[in-house]
């Protein structure tokens, strides 16, 4: 989002409780006009509750919601320039696709000519003109979701809320619809707020992402910033996969690098992307794709880490292979892309001795660390 966008939809200190459970806890958030913004987090983190309050289906216990400079906190759903696309489509089974899309404008008592013009435009936008007279039961899941999007957009909302819109679809269809949804956003240019627990969806479609956990926002930023510079172990683990290393600073080499002792692992070099001093405890996030798995020990360099290990698990994914390497008391996950894969090529296998290498700049120091966040890692069990 550019700085010029400014605040279009604003949540100010929003809190929502259900009995003793706090679903959203003093959340403040600003979303720009025309932005595709994702609320991302695990089940129960508060993202859907926040979306429902934006739609008017629920009200905060405290705090205010502003849209385009107007306080809409107490405004009923039908009076808000906001429409929602649900996971289950919510189409009328007895109506044709055309009549499903026309339902909102008819309820608003628009004239017949403008309804026909707007519905035709929406059918064109979602590429369903040839299906206009069919019933929802005659469409695929992806087509039904496109009808739901068209039905929401025909009302010309200022904000489109998408609540896990692709969750019921298979992987390849989700990937295709993400591309289509992005193209639709470019065409209509309104603000999209996308709720999902799927990191890949959020990363691929968003201008910015708010990562939520237990009713609060852990971090807000563009996808690359969230992935490469996570603020906490929760964000690092939830957005993709990562390895955590915990240690203590033993030497500050210069302004750029320090040495760190990791108990049961050895001494590594880290980049000083945050201020550190001798004796400081550090918590490092190291993405699997940053690690190189080598059969021979490479020549060391001041900014390179080299650790001996043993392969404990190997999983082939087609485009890449994942290795779990035992290094002392630690088990690290490494990912190797198959850019030039040869079937007869000898690759590391279970039980092989290997060397792991990575640049000091490939790790990232975390602001916060919580041991319970490691449960989010998609690593195999110790005895796997």
One domain, residues 253 and 226: no
**What pLDDT score was predicted for residue 378?**
37
Question: Is the domain of 289 the same as that of 307?
Answer: yes
Strand partners, 336: 321
Q: Is residue 357 part of a domain?
A: yes
C-alpha distances in angstroms, 205 versus 141, 163, 194, 208, 285?
20, 14, 9, 9, 24
Cα separation, 6 vs 17, whole angstroms: 29
Is the domain of 59 the same as that of 207? yes
Q: Which residues 6+ apart lie within 8 Å of 263 measured at CB?
A: 246, 247, 329
382, pLDDT greater than 70 = no
- Reported as a single tens digit per residue, the pLDDT across 249-301 is 999 998 899 999 999 999 999 999 889 999 999 999 999 999 999 988 888 77
CATH number of the domain that 358 lies in?
2.40.50.100
- Total length of the chain: 384
Residues 184, 126: contact at Cβ < 8 Å? yes
**Are 292 and 221 part of one and the same domain?**
no
If asked whether residues 198 and 73 sit together in one domain, one would say yes
* Domain at 147, CATH number: 3.40.50.300
pLDDT digits (tens, 9 = 90+) for 302-333: 789 999 999 999 999 888 999 999 999 999 99
Find where tokens 């906190």 sit: 73
The predicted model scores a pTM of: 0.86
Distance of alpha carbon 324 from alpha carbon 339, whole angstroms? 20
Q: Is the pLDDT of residue 237 over 80?
A: yes
pLDDT value, residue 376: 44
Question: In this structure, is residue 382 part of a structural domain?
Answer: no
Q: What is the pLDDT of residue 136?
A: 93
Is residue 219 in some structural domain?
yes
CA distances for 330 relative to 59, 90, 214, 245, angstroms? 47, 49, 29, 8
What is the domain count for the chain? Answer: 2
pLDDT for 101-114, tens place per residue?
A: 999 999 989 999 99
Query: Are residues 150 and 258 both part of a single domain?
Result: no
Which of 186, 216, 233 delimits the end of a domain?
233
Q: Which residues of 364-380 are buried (b: 16+ CB within 10 A; e: fewer)?
A: bbbeebeeebbebbebe
Does one domain contain both 204 and 302? no
Full domain range(s) for residue 307: 242-376
Residues 181 and 264 placed together within one structural domain of the fold: no
pLDDT digits (tens, 9 = 90+) for 53-69: 999 999 999 999 999 99
Q: Are 260 and 282 in contact (CB under 8 A)?
A: yes
> Are 117 and 220 in the same domain?
yes
Per the domain annotation, does 381 fall within a domain? no
Share of the chain above pLDDT 90, in %: 75
Residue 169 pLDDT class (50, 70, 90 cuts): confident
* Average pLDDT taken over every residue of the chain: 89
Q: Give the separation between CA 166 and CA 314, rounded to whole angstroms.
A: 31
Query: Does 384 reside within a domain?
Result: no
Please report, rounded to a whole number, the percentage of residues in the chain having pLDDT higher than 70: 93
Q: What's the pLDDT score for residue 3?
A: 39
pLDDT at 344: 59
Instruction: Tell me if 341 is assigned to some domain.
Output: yes
Q: What is the mean pLDDT of residues 197-220?
A: 95
Q: Would you say residue 139 lies in a domain? A: yes
Residue in 222, 201, 97, 194 with CA at minimum distance from that of residue 154: 97
């Amino acid at each position: 989002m550019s700085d010029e966008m400014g605040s279009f939809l604003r949540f100010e200190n929003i809190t929502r409780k259900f009995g003793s459970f706090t679903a959203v806890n003093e959340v403040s958030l600003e979303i720009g006009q025309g932005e595709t913004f994702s609320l991302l987090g695990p089940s129960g983190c508060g993202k859907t509750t926040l979306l429902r309050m934006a739609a008017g289906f629920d009200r905060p216990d405290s705090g205010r919601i502003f849209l385009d400079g107007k306080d809409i906190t107490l405004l009923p759903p039908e009076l808000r320039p906001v429409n929602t696309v649900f996971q289950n489509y919510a189409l009328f089974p007895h109506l044709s696709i055309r009549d499903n899309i026309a339902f909102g404008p008819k309820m608003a008592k628009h004239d017949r000519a403008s309804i026909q013009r707007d519905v035709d435009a929406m059918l064109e936008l979602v590429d369903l003109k040839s299906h206009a007279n069919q019933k929802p039961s005659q469409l695929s899941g992806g087509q039904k979701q496109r009808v739901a999007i068209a039905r929401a957009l025909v009302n010309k909302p200022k904000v489109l809320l998408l609540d896990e819109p692709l969750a019921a679809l298979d992987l390849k269809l989700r990937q295709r619809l993400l591309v289509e949804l992005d193209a639709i956003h470019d065409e209509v240019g309104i603000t999209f707020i996308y709720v999902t627990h799927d990191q890949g969806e959020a990363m691929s479609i968003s201008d910015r992402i708010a990562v939520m956990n237990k009713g609060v926002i852990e971090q807000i930023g563009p996808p690359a910033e969230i992935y490469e510079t996570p603020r906490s172990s929760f964000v690092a683990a939830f957005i993709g996969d990562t390895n955590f290393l915990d240690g203590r600073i033993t030497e500050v080499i210069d302004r750029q690098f320090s040495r760190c002792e990791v108990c049961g692992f050895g001494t590594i070099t880290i980049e000083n992307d945050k201020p550190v001093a001798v004796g400081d405890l550090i918590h490092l996030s190291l993405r699997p794709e940053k690690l190189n798995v080598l059969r021979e020990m490479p020549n060391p360099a001041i900014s390179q880490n080299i650790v001996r290990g043993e392969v404990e698990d190997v999983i082939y994914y087609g485009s890449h292979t994942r290795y779990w390497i035992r290094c002392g008391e630690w088990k690290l996950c490494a990912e190797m892309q198959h850019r030039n894969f040869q079937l007869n090529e000898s690759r590391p296998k279970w039980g092989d001795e290997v060397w792991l290498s990575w640049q000091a700049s490939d790790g990232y120091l975390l602001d916060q660390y919580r041991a319970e966040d490691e449960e989010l890692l998609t690593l195999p069990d110790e005895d796997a």
